[in-house]
Amino acid sequence: MPCRIGSTHGPYPRREKVGAVGVATTLVALSWVLAGVAGAAGIARTDDWAFSRVAFALHRTGSIHLVGWGPMTLVGLAAWAQPWLWLLGDRTWVLDLSVAALAVVGFVAAHRLARTLLAPGVAAVAVAGLVAFPGVVRDATTFMTDGPALALQAVVLALGAASLRATGSRAHTLRLAALAVGWWAFSVRELAIAAPVAVLLAWWARGERRVRVEALALAAASLALWSWRQSLPGNQPYAGRPPLAIVVTLVASGLLTASLGLAPIVAWTAPRWWHPRRRGARIAGMAVGALLAGLGPLVAALRHQRLWWFVGDYLQANGMNGDKLALGHRPMVLPAGVWDLLVVLAIASLVVTAGLVGEWLALRRSRPAARRLGRDR
């Protein structure tokens, strides 16, 4: 069973560390092999055609000029690529290589984080589930923000977990390192701010008073970066608040996409959670999960539009990004029966996960009450 972050689930021997680096390097090398076989190595494949232009412009002119494609922060990724371009030349494959290096570090950090919480076998399954998620291996060799943001968040969480296990000045140094990398992750993709915020919340729950100052510093630095980035030439302005129906659809498809990724973990750990400890809370959580799973079909029916079960950038029946990459219609990659099975697995995983979260919340609420009762007696 998972343990608290404050302790480690067994030692993390050198052999495991070396093995994690070897496996991570092999996975990224496999990504390059697949890209080479497909004729896609060293060329822009999705939004990275625009991101590459930003990095090349910075290398050649010393200034950042955006190209109005994608409102994510991005500048941290362009900055990361500069030493690589200076050493190896301004070629697209150099940008991809810089991302590949981050991917290796991210996979190793993910394994280190998993080993903090889990036994070796379960940790390996957890990391395998992450790597097998659609788009992860692809983004290991593209100058997209997705892969680097994922890698940096893994590093932030691994450093944060290490800081929670450490003591004294070492704990403080590791926490500051996590926040620094977290700010860099935010400069690559803004939603990556969730990782350093999670570290701060974990320390705040421990009663660490300095966290308030560090949180304010992180917020100020992030706001300053955001304001500067928004003022850059070529910036793509936000088109305003999206309609509620679109927000609901995106949330529902995002939850189902993440739940499909969690499905192997849910199935693997079934013997551990199968018997409920708070039956009512689990049922309530499962009801919420079922409601969330039904939001997409409900909105599609009300608006008489096509139903998108998953986030199309990562998973569609006719391939990642569907028909967005070329004119016309791409053929179906997956047979209809296989696609329907994936949808069912995602819904089941979302319902089960929501039930487990509801049960966990109920258990958390009951523990303080039990401690108060013990003190009253």
What number of H helices and E strands is found in the chain?
A: 14, 0
Query: Are residue 178 and residue 327 in the same domain, yes or no?
Result: no
Residues 263 and 325 in one domain: yes
Name the residue with higher pLDDT: 188 or 117.
188
Residue 167 pLDDT greater than 90, yes or no: no
Q: Choose between 224 and 316: higher pLDDT.
A: 224
- Is 145:54 a contact under the CB 8 Å cutoff? no
Closest of 150, 151, 164 to residue 200, by C-alpha: 164
In a domain, 311, yes or no: yes
Q: Are 178 and 199 in contact (CB under 8 A)?
A: yes
Hey, CA dihedral for 80, 85, 88, 90, is it positive or negative?
Answer: positive
Residue with tokens 């070396």: 18
Decide if 126 is inside a domain.
yes
3 in a domain, yes or no?
no
Structural element, H or E, at residue 78: helix 75-88
pLDDT in tens, 336-374: 888 899 999 999 999 999 999 999 999 988 766 555 545
Average pLDDT of the chain?
Answer: 87
Is 326 found in the same domain as 294?
yes
Residue 188 pLDDT exceeds 90: yes
Same-domain check for residues 130 and 201 = yes
Instruction: Note the pLDDT tens digit of each residue in 76-113.
Output: 999 999 999 999 998 999 999 999 999 999 999 999 99
Is 335 inside a domain boundary? yes
Instruction: Classify residue 237: in a domain, yes or no.
Output: no
Q: Tell which of 230, 256, 285 closes a domain.
A: 230
The whole-model pTM stands at 0.86
Same domain, 18 and 111: yes
Last residue of a domain, one of 195, 230, 265: 230
Positive or negative torsion for Cα 328, 333, 335, 340: negative
pLDDT digits (tens, 9 = 90+) for 114-134: 998 888 888 888 888 888 888
The stretch 9-22 carries a mean pLDDT of 78
pLDDT tens column, 244-258: 888 888 889 899 999
Domain membership of residue 372 (yes or no) is no
Domain count, the chain: 2
- Regarding whether 88 and 179 lie in a shared domain, the answer is yes
What was the pLDDT predicted at 323? 65
- Token code pair at residue 234: 């070529």
Give yes or no for residue 10 having a pLDDT over 80.
no
Q: Which amino acid is at 110?
A: A
Do residue 90 and residue 153 come from a single domain? yes
Can you tell me the mean pLDDT for 319-347?
A: 80
User: Greater confidence, 333 or 84?
Assistant: 84
| Calpha distance 150→192 (Å, rounded) | 8
**Whether residues 271 and 358 fall in one domain:** yes
Structural domain that includes position 197 = 14-230
Whether residue 347 is contained in a domain is answered as: yes
Segment 215-239 mean pLDDT? 90
Residues 222 and 329 in one domain: no
**What was the pLDDT predicted at 143?**
92
375 within a domain of the structure (yes/no): no
- Provide the percentage of residues in the chain whose pLDDT is more than 90: 48
3-state secondary structure of 376: helix
332 confidence band (pLDDT: 50, 70, 90): confident
Cα(23)–Cα(131) distance, integer angstroms: 11
179 and 53 together in one domain = yes
Q: Tell me: the pLDDT tens digits for 31-83? A: 899 888 888 888 887 788 899 999 999 999 999 999 887 778 899 999 999 99
pLDDT number for residue 227: 92
Q: Are residues 57 and 192 in the same domain?
A: yes
Quick one: pLDDT band at residue 331, thresholds 50, 70, 90? confident
Of 230, 261, 286, the domain-final residue: 230
Statement to judge: residues 338 and 211 lie in one domain: no
